Amino acid sequence: MNSLADTPVTITLLFANVAISLWAMYGNPVYMYKLSEWPYQIVHENKYYQIVTSAFLHANFMHLFFNMFALYTFGAFLEYFFIQNLGVIGGSLYFFLIYFISLIFGSVLTVVFHFNDPKYVAVGASGAVSGIVFSYIIFFPQSMLYVFFIPMPAYIFAFLWLAFSVYGMKKKLGNIGHEAHLGGALGGVISTLILIDGSFKILLSHFKFLNF
């Protein structure tokens, strides 16, 4: 990959997230309320658009930065990988579909767990980004990731991420959208295995020692 111009969907999503988040945070804060994900409003007031709009808003600059850093780090690499193997149109299209499906999974799982809580609100691209990260892990499960400066294979990170998300949901740990993280990860895995032909075989090929 020579530049972000080689990954048009990633750069478009980065721009959209940054532009919309900053626009709402600093210029039109009323839309932070209107376009955020309020599970109670989605179910009881039919504000279904919040499922999508909330994923382009962020609570603060650091929240935006970390999500966009993860999107750039994994998204640009994954989209370019798809383009190299599926062509420019096919690669970018499948990348976008995985991102969007992961977004929907993350938002819907949040609704499922919080639709009776009128005070619960969520924003952020975490669900969609989580899906992209897990899609990346399907193709590169043994690549090394650094979590708080601790190196670990990507597949170990995946298990820890899922376990932490489930634990966080049960314990209502911190001001974190664990449901979005878990739903997005599941969406990323499911959509990748369905959309990308041979992806499951590629995943298994990295673990030949298991004699599959």
CATH label of the domain that carries residue 82: 1.20.1540
The pLDDT of residue 207 is 79
Nearest to 168 by CA among 157, 156, 181: 181
Q: For the chain (length 212 residues), average pLDDT per consecutive 10?
A: 77 97 92 96 97 96 95 96 96 98 98 96 96 97 89 93 92 87 97 94 79 50
Number of independent structural domains in the chain: 1
- Classify residue 74: in a domain, yes or no: yes
Is position 210 within any domain?
no
Residue 58 domain flag: yes
Q: What pLDDT is recorded for position 191?
A: 97
Residue 121 lies in a domain: yes
Helix/strand/coil (H/E/C) assignment for every residue in 96-141:
HHHHHHHHHHHHHHHHHHHCCCCCCCECCCHHHHHHHHHHHHHHCC
**Domain-embedded: residue 211:** no
Q: Is residue 212 part of a domain?
A: no
- The residue assigned the tokens 């970390």 is 66
pLDDT for res 211: 53
Residue 93 covered by a domain: yes
Task: Indicate whether 177 belongs to any domain.
Answer: yes
C-alpha span between 201 and 4 (Å, rounded): 29
Q: Structural domain of residue 150, as residue ranges?
A: 4-205
Give me the pLDDT at residue 1, please.
Answer: 57
**What is the model's pLDDT at position 4?**
61
